[in-house]
Amino acid sequence: MSPRPRILIVEDDVAIRETVAELLEDEGYDVDRAANGADALALLERSGTPALILLDLMMPVMDGWSFRASQRRNPRLATIPTVVVTASTGADPHAGGDLAPDAFLAKPFDLELLIDTVHRLC
pTM (2 d.p.): 0.90
Can you give the pLDDT at residue 62?
92
Please provide the CATH number assigned to the domain covering 6-121: 3.40.50.2300
From residue 62, give the alpha-carbon distance in Å to each of 3, 40, 112, 118. 31, 9, 29, 24
Q: φ, ψ for residue 77 (rounded to 5)?
A: -105, -20
Give the integer Cα–Cα distance in Å for 67 and 122. Answer: 21
- The CA distance from 68 to 22, in Å, is 24
Measured distance CA(45)–CA(17) in Å, rounded: 21
Helix axes 111-121, 14-26, angle to 10 degrees: 60
pLDDT for residue 75: 94
Max Cα separation, the chain?
43
Per-residue pLDDT tens over the stretch 47-82: 889 999 999 988 999 998 899 999 999 999 999 999
Decide: helix, strand or coil at residue 1: coil
Predicted local confidence at residue 96, as pLDDT: 45
